[in-house]
Chains A and B, each alone.
Chain A
Amino acid sequence: MAKRNPLYDFKWCPGCGDFGVKVALEQALVGRMAERNESIENTVIVAGIGCSGNMVHMMEGPQPFGIHGIHGRALPIAYGIKSARPDLNVVVVAGDGDFLSIGAEHIGPQARRNLDITAVIMDNGIYGLTKGQASPTTEMNVVTSTTRFGKLDDKLNPFLFYLGAGVPYLRSQLSSRVKDLASDIKEAMEYPGFSIVHVQSPCTTYNDTYSLLKGDAKKGIEPLAYPLGDDHNAEDITAAANLVRDRRIPIGMIYRHEGEPVAAHQRLADAKERANIEQASVEQLLTAMTIA
């Protein structure tokens, strides 16, 4: 709610990738509202803790509801919101540390519940807010304040991790491609199950990966990111897994589980219907225990 708040005392650094994600998210929401004739108050942004999570305060334009909770728990908060209120549009915004380190345990359960939640992950391969410590997606051997001798453990491959956890909808994008990212987020919000838009969103202060991602012909650096060709069949999980095993980062639609997903709350409603159970009144519940 930055516009109306003179006291807000956080700012992103100049050039931070999260600026692009912010604009894309705003555009996606405005587009969705116009298309569906839906009010902005129908959207809830669930933010992780990190520079990225501050998105919920930085957003301009129409103001959605927001919840800025505790480190790593954006997904289960979103689970509680969506299971209680399937009518709301629930969007998680979080960083690589929040989502893939401290909060990684929630991805599998969330994928299996398959509630209609969209997660926009801002991967900068670093802990930005705490001033530059290694994250799961920091490359091996990189020197950070917690890896003085170079990062000892290998980099997590987030895409393989998501696919293994059963995430049914997976897109990859760059923060600098704002227009594409806006339409990616909007499409992911349309998907009726759990969707992830994983964004390379560089940290200019602690891990500037712009030139790595885009390459530098003069220095002979091959771009790490490359656009996915039309020949990739996103409904083929084997193809998706083979694609992301490479060190390079494909940009585009990586995986989409074929068929329409059924969310946990819908499965529950169906199961109740099958079992033909109605809520008993308190009086009925107690009377059933009457001593004859």
Chain B
Amino acid sequence: MASAAAAGGYHVLTFSTFPSQIKGGPAWGQARISSEEILTPGDYLDVLVCQNRYAYDANLPDLREGGLVIYNSEEFELPDNSRALGLPADRMAREAGNPLASTIILIGAVAKMAGVSVEALEAFITKRWSRGRPGDEKIVSGNITALQMGVEEAAKTGLQLEDLDPAPTHDRPRIMIRGYEAAAIGAIAGGVEAFIGYPISPATTMLTYMEANLVGKDRFVGQASSEIESITALIGSGYAGKVTMTSTSGPGLSLMGEGLGLAWMAEIPLVVANVQRGGPATGLPTKTEQSDLIVAMNPGHGDMSVPVIAPGSLEEAFWGAIAAINWSERYQGPVLLLSEAAIAERAQDVPMPDLSQVRVERRQVSQGEQGNRRYAGDGVTPFPVPGGAGAYVANGSEHDEQGDTTHLPDIHVTMTNRRFKKLEVLNDGTFEAERTEAETIVLPWGGSKGSARAAWNELTAEGVDIGWCYTMFINPLPADLLTALQGKRVLVPELNYLGQFAAHLRSKGVNAEAITQYTGLPFKVADLKAEIRQRLA
């Protein structure tokens, strides 16, 4: 239905989760359809479709006042059907001539009640199942009959939500894409050549996408035996001259800590996409949270500050992956692409990215000009690639200019300064800023961008005087953004207990206070609005 609505020109956002229970657990999917650009999955449900009693009980609290319920009456019955419709969907599907079409019957009913164009759905069904195979026609006609049956049953009830506004027109072609696909294709656009990972929710999808799509000659995708293997293998391929990347989630990132320290210390370019889930240890594997920011910047022991880019939308997932690769190649070290379940698993319509804007950077390769003194100099220096000139030892122990181990105090000072100085080349991070003359500014990060922006839009429309700032370049932060925040009160909505981004901002001299939530779910716009109003009062 989301695809059909998108085909009809509507904006759509879908999101689904499955608990880590392979068969028989509750599966759950959500779609939002709108004539306006969609910023969040939505605070409440207009229509709740449930196949069983469990789904009804679990999701009823999210149904808005005046919302409608459609349910499979072969599974359970509701006593009060004044705002609900029970359909014997399986039996009706058999009658329609396609026993597999029970979901389409329910979709027909939703479409009728929500005012989605039935013609657009029919056109979509015809297109979707006309695949040039024998029997296509029978399936198409069975599905259209099923759709009509659902529409008719809904019509009989007279239950109806407000009609959707007409679909907008678009001047650019649009694509329907998932968050992990956007990041993976961004990485391919950025020129990734080697991808080695270990399965973990919700980051596995990126590994499997790469396995299927990063396929040309000289490209390598491998499954390691642990995240310790994947990060150290990445160090090997980055050291050997390749653009290299992995995807993981919290527990994997923890295991990568020592390896990321090695990449920082030995100055090896690589990108780790960390898709945040909830909680420490195994935590909430299938839920969303933004609680890995501190560990992303400081994934291991010792003095280091790993650059972090945190996309807040699907378009930013694409561009952020390219930027992460460019940063790692430019400063010659590890970069964290910090995503989260709510971004990686969401599917949304976005304008086709303008590929003429893609800029790909590569590390400066040594031609032997500095001899074996790979680590000589203050800041970024040419990178010797094995097989070529400038043999040295890439060393995770403190080292001198050619990479030999040393414990001399002044060399540790020189080399530590060198490693931090290299970050200065990462000075091209962009940011959004609106109404910054206001005393208080909302500054979310990552996946909380959408809800915060929706709350900000509504609050300013309601006459609240509040500014907006946002960047996906979390570390290092754009210098001009820090300047713009001077003297302001900054409210930071973020999905964690500690207020991690607010603390990061405070360490840069910003007067930041966090608005936290740690339910494993994204912010509701209404909750954020209420909280911001209260802070302003």
Contact = CB atoms under 8 A, between A and B. Distances in A.
- Bound together: yes
Interface of A: 1-2, 4-5, 7-10, 39-42, 44, 46, 54, 56-57, 63-70, 73, 76-85, 87-88, 105-106, 108-109, 264-265, 268-269, 272, 277-280, 282-283, 285-287, 289-292
Given A57-B405, A80-B237, 9 more contacts: A1-B403, A5-B404, A63-B372, A73-B232, A77-B235, A83-B220, A85-B240, A109-B224, A278-B215
Interface stretch (B58-66, B181-189, B441-449, B472-480): B181-189
Contacts of B213: 279-280, 285
Interface in B162-209: 173-177, 181, 185, 188-189, 193-194, 196
Nearest to B258: A70
Interface stretch (B91-99, B389-397, B430-438): B389-397
B400 interface: yes
Contacts of A66: 391-394, 403
Residue of B216, B240, B244 with most chain A CB atoms under a 10 A cut-off: B240
Given A84-B194, A290-B173, A292-B127, A1 B392 contact: yes
Contacts, number: 208
Q: How large is the interface on B (under 10, 10 to 19, 20 to 34, 35 or more residues)?
A: 35 or more
A2 B196 CA distance: 34
A291 B220 contact: no
Nearest to A85: B240
Contact of A80 (B185, B196, B258, B393): B196
A264 B194 CA distance: 14
- Binding site of B, secondary structure by majority: helix, strand, loop or mixed? mixed
Contact of A264 (B222, B235, B238): B222
B259 A291 contact: no
B46 to A, nearest CB: 22
A88 B386 contact: yes
Interface of B: 3, 6-7, 127, 173-177, 181, 185, 188-189, 193-194, 196, 213-217, 219-220, 222, 224-226, 228-230, 232-242, 244, 258-259, 261-262, 266, 349, 352-353, 355, 358, 372, 384, 386-389, 391-397, 400, 402-408, 411
A291 B185 contact: no
11 contacts: A5-B402, A7-B406, A10-B405, A41-B386, A67-B236, A84-B193, A88-B240, A286-B175, A290-B174, A291-B6, A291-B174
A272 B213 CA distance: 11
Contact of B236 (A54, A84, A264, A285): A84
A92 to B, nearest CB: 11
A65 B353 CA distance: 41
A162 B222 CA distance: 23
Given A289-B177, A290-B173, A282 B355 contact: yes
Nearest to B394: A67
